[in-house]
Amino acid sequence: MHKSKYDHEIGGKSLKLQLKENNNINLVFYLLRVTIARMLLLIYIKGVELHVRQTNELM
């Protein structure tokens, strides 16, 4: 399979574009993970506070 110079240039451009898109996708996933981690942490802290409060009331 012989590739022409033109095909090669198109491939190079699309590869650069692809890398740029991948970086954007990675950033989105990173932000999603950070947001989810924060939410889980908040839920966990609220749960612990609630548990401590209930335990104090029982005593």
Q: How many domains does the chain have?
A: 1
Report DSSP state, residue 53: H
Chain centroid, CA 51 distance in Å: 31
Q: Is there a domain that residue 9 lies in?
A: no
- Phi/psi of residue 2, nearest 5 degrees: -95, 125
Q: Is there a domain that residue 3 lies in?
A: no
Residue 52 sits in which domain range? 26-59
Q: Is there a domain that residue 19 lies in?
A: no
pLDDT at 8: 61
Sign of CA dihedral 30, 32, 34, 36: negative
Retrieve residue 55's tokens: 């335990």
pLDDT at 50: 92
CA neighbours closer than 13 Å in the CB half-sphere of residue 40: 6
Q: Is there a domain that residue 30 lies in?
A: yes
Q: pLDDT tens string for the chain (59 positions)? A: 566 665 666 666 777 888 888 888 899 999 999 999 999 999 999 999 999 999 888 87
pLDDT at 30: 94
